[in-house]
């Protein structure tokens, strides 16, 4: 596996559960949908483990809906509309992430976002968090022909930056992130502080596992230039 041996020229982040803690804002619209249907809201902790799965996982937990249900498209649209309106009420960079991003920029290392969230939502959240002028690229699940775990968005990022896969690193909190990175031979870091199941993360065969953004930063600092 392509472990990091020198400092990368670019770091690409998954968004939900890796760069930004978005779980509360993702859960809120589903609870609003429950309330509109006469149901009590669920504890936010029940949504957190599926936050990286997006509307599919959230609607299954909150309303028992699956993608095979005939009313799923309408539920998904309602969820997306509600989420867009209050996308950054509680969402914040994970602790230690502001320092990590500042260090990357100070050392001339570009950084970008490659998410499976729809691109317009990725860009809206990035802008709301004041990162729009800092990020090199902001991709969503519909930016490339196929979303992660397919390698298409990572290939597009390499084309846009003019870098090779070994010059970059991808960090994410979902198995799909690791699979997409490995598909282009890019070093992959598992963000164990995110929404992934801690018991499953070692099975993903990531090149590195970090317990916090601070640990990721420390790892990058140790690498030779």
34: DSSP letter: H
Residue 10 pairs with which residues in a beta bridge? 110, 168
14, 16, 174, 207: the active-site residue: 14
Residue 173 among the catalytic residues: no
Beta strands 10-13 and 110-114 are parallel
User: Which residues in 41-55 are b (16+ Cβ under 10 Å) and which e?
Assistant: eeeeeebbebbbbbb
Q: How far is CA 117 from CA 22, 96, 176, 219, in A?
A: 12, 23, 13, 28
Catalytic residues: 14
């Amino acid at each position: 596996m392509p472990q990091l041996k020198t400092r990368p020229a670019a770091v690409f982040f998954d968004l939900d559960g890796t760069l930004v803690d978005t779980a509360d804002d993702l859960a809120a619209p589903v609870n609003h949908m429950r309330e509109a249907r006469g149901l009590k809201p669920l504890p936010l902790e029940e949504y957190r483990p599926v936050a990286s799965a997006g509307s599919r996982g959230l609607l299954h937990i909150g309303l028992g809906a699956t993608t095979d249900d005939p009313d799923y498209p309408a539920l998904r649209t309602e969820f997306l509309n509600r989420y867009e309106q209050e996308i950054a009420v509680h969402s914040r960079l994970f602790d230690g992430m502001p320092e990590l991003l500042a260090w990357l920029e100070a050392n001339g290392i570009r950084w970008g976002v490659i998410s499976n969230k729809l691109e317009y939502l990725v860009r809206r959240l990035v802008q709301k968090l004041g990162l729009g002028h800092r990020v090199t690229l902001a991709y969503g699940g519909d930016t490339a022909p196929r979303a992660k775990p397919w390698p298409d968005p990572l290939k597009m990022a390499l084309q846009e930056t003019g870098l090779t896969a070994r010059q970059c690193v991808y960090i994410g909190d979902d198995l799909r992130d690791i699979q997409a990175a490995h598909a282009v031979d890019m070093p992959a870091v598992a963000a164990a502080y995110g929404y992934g199941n801690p018991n499953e993360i070692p099975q993903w065969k990531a090149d590195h596992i970090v317990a916090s953004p601070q640990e990721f930063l420390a790892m990058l600092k140790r690498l030779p230039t």
